[in-house]
Structure 1
Amino acid sequence: MSRRKHGEGSVYSYVRSGVRRYRIQWYEREGTHDPDSPLRRRSQGGFPTAKDAAAALRQKLSSLDRGDPTSTARGGLTVGGFMDEWVEGHRVGESTKAGYLKIIRLHIKPYIGEVELAKLTSTRLAALYRQLESSGRRNHKGERTGEGLGPNTVHKVHQALSVALDSALGDGVIRNNPTRLKGAKPPTTKQIKEAKGEILVWTLGELTQFLKWADHEDREMSPAWTFIGHTGVRRGEVVGLRWSDLDLPTSASIRRTVATIKKKGQPEYDLTKKVKGGRPRKVELNTDVTSALRDHRRRLATVDMNRIRADRPVFANPSDGHQMRPNYVYRRWTRAVERYNLDHRTDPLPPITGHELRHTHASILLIAGWHPKAVQERLGHASFQITMDLYTHLMPSMQRDSMDAYQAMLDRQREEEARPGRLVETGED
């Protein structure tokens, strides 16, 4: 049987995460015992030295000469072992890496961690996804609660496996990526959307009513609620805002965000990084926000002039002036809404979350006639499609409002044409 057509195979080096490794490459027949089957290029990486790689290549070629069945998989390598190896070398941000580590620890290794990587099939993955959907939820200690995970979380497990196994395929560790096969059956886009349900938001009247109350009853956080409610920024972006980012009275530059990093067995910490997409975005301010920021600045100055230095946070921890934590913002928001409703027992507001305050701003803009593309840019969504998917439920009312405006324009045009004594141009000199 012809062993190779393009030379004796090759060894070459590559660098991953600053570490040099070696890869071997060879050609073999697609059908082990069919000399007429097409040649396929194969490769295997991860060798620590060129000598190790050369020895592996000689062994591989000798095996092909003997006509032995071959496998590119590293013998005995498990899914859990490979996922640990992959995540350590995967070049992503700290918050993304922390998310991968959590998925691997809670939703992959307990179920398929001991499965041999070369024997992982799409059918086994489908079984994993269904098991996670039925009983995959775990508490903060990692103990199973008996409840199922939502489709969106299960899809994140599928995405992590897909990216990792693409890397395994590229290294020649596996022959195909089972996550890419139809048999894997991860949750569909439709199932994810249906599980999320409709976003709960306030009307402009409800928002105005709450902010008026907060200006008197929650003065420490009222400027932050006004800023989020009228700009739609994320909690991490609010925490990361500095006085130097403001160009009053017109705008604010959203340059950075703060994320809380949690890793098993390590203390959590806050990481300041660039906003999503890496580019700052300019957010125009209305007079309500400008007024709230100026009043906020004056109050802080009476406490400590250092709190309004250019490099200090605009919305700091009220007790010490240090940067707030993202979760603290949402905890204070939940308490503020609860207090409002206690003060208005006969006419409470829907208990929206802090993130739904961001959605409230977006929905008000869309109902007011803003183009979804402008809303996307203001909120910092990565794509136009994200904006459309989030606020599809508003489209019917927006279409009705647009048609009413269109009809009013036509009616005005007809009234003008019917006005007595109106000159009609004929186009003649």
Structure 2
Amino acid sequence: MLSESKSTDLLKDYYHDWVIVYKEGAIRDVTLSKYHMCEKWIENLAPDLRLCDVTRKAYQNIINEYAKEHERQTVMDFHHQLKGAILDAVDEGLIPHDPTRKVIIKGKTPVDKKQKYLNQFQLQTLLQSLKLEETINWDWFILLVAKTGMRFSEALAITPKDFDFAHQTVSINKTWNYKDGGGFAATKNRSSVRKIQIDWQLVMQFATLVKDLPVDKPIFVTKDKVYNSTVNDILERYCKKLDIPIISVHGLRHTHASILLFAGVSIASVARRLGHASMTTTQKTYLHIIQELENQDIDLVMRSLSNLT
């Protein structure tokens, strides 16, 4: 059992204990690793800072130092992880006032990122080039992700019984723990548990493909160790050969969402299909597309009004 904290304890020690008590066993391992990384940065940036000395200025200095090496969004995530522990320390009376209030989030200028998604023509070109054999291969995996927008770990965990061919749906209720030795694991969040409607063509293809496979075994996992780099390499070779932007498996998820948004599907429906915890996540991720659609809406509004006499 951990000892009671005191206001003279070091911030790094309090944060370490706080992660053990409130985060371990409560969040996914991938999220927990982010809190552990935050702890390393606290040790680096404020090794001797005591809780009683965590003022607004001291906290802002930590954020400023972290921002020298990271982009603004990463700084925001760091602030969010550290703030949780700080506010608990305030509630416990270990820090007299909330030092995170009115914090200024800074950060390095984001580097230009590669295109994350394909347009409809480019996706069609890719899908038509896939080698869809009579037995399971990674090309089938690429097709499934492109047509459903699943996350990589979700698609790996799909078993034959997850398909409801009569109602044209596939259920997402688990993931495959490919980063840590395999095995089924929980979904990213509650909203990630969902049913995705699939088109009749995909129904016919997968009904034939999985009919003789074990109903409760993941159809794409043939050995314990699976790497997303394997599928990414296959995708990259296709993209280079077809002279289209090189994207990753996660880029297929972005492609799926982008095509739906451009087709006029509501943000709410796209968010549910992707398993986002809230529409805010969808709006932030696809802000550039939403802004482009808003510009098209303005043109449509102006044309409609100009016809009124």
Same fold at TM > 0.5: yes
User: Which secondary structure state, in structure 1, belongs to the residue aligned with residue 185 of structure 2?
Assistant: strand
Specify which of 162, 173, 178 is matched with residue 99 of structure 2: 178
Question: Larger Rg: 1 or 2?
Answer: 1
User: Which secondary structure state, in structure 1, belongs to the residue aligned with residue 186 of structure 2?
Assistant: strand
State the superposition RMSD in angstroms.
3.3
Q: CA deviation at 1:150?
A: 1.9
**Contact conserved, 2:12 with 2:43, CA < 8 A, in 1?**
yes
Matches within 5 A, 1:176-215: 176-180=97-101, 182=102, 184-187=103-106, 200-215=116-131
1:101 aligns with 2:36: yes
Unaligned runs of 5+ in 2: none
Matches within 5 A, 1:301-316: 301=212, 308-316=213-221
Q: What is the CA deviation profile of residues 41-83 of structure 1, one whole-angstrom value per residue up to 9, with x for unaligned ones?
A: xxxxx65xxxxxxxxxxxxxxxxxxxxxxxxx82541011111
Inter-partner Cα distance in structure 2 for 1:176 and 1:97: 27
Matches within 5 A, 1:37-48: 47=4
1:116 aligns with 2:50: yes
User: Which secondary structure state, in structure 2, belongs to the residue aligned with residue 178 of structure 1?
Assistant: coil
Matches within 5 A, 1:307-386: 308-316=213-221, 321-322=222-223, 325=226, 328-329=227-228, 331-344=229-242, 348-386=243-281
Inter-partner Cα distance in structure 2 for 1:228 and 1:121: 48
Aligned partner letter, 2:64 = R
Q: How many residues align?
A: 300
The match for 1:226 is 143
Specify which of 117, 121, 126 is matched with residue 60 of structure 2: 126
Distance of aligned partners of 1:283 and 1:94 in 2 relative to their CA distance in 1, 3 Å threshold: closer
User: Which secondary structure state, in structure 2, belongs to the residue aligned with residue 100 of structure 1?
Assistant: helix
Specify which of 171, 182, 203 is matched with residue 253 of structure 1: 171
Aligned partner letter, 1:210 = L
Specify which of 87, 91, 94 is matched with residue 19 of structure 2: 87
Which protein has greater RCO, CA pairs closer than 8 Å, 6+ apart? 2
Q: What is the identity percentage for the equivalent residue pairs of Structure 1 and Structure 2?
A: 22
1:149 aligns with 2:70: yes
TM norm structure 2: 0.83
Inter-partner Cα distance in structure 1 for 2:279 and 2:214: 36
Q: What is the CA deviation profile of residues 266-287 of structure 1, one whole-angstrom value per residue up to 9, with x for unaligned ones?
A: xx45561134126621100013
User: Which secondary structure state, in structure 2, belongs to the residue aligned with residue 86 of structure 1?
Assistant: helix
Distance of aligned partners of 1:195 and 1:155 in 2 relative to their CA distance in 1, 3 Å threshold: farther
The match for 1:28 is none
**Contact conserved, 1:80 with 1:108, CA < 8 A, in 2?**
yes
Inter-partner Cα distance in structure 2 for 1:338 and 1:274: 27
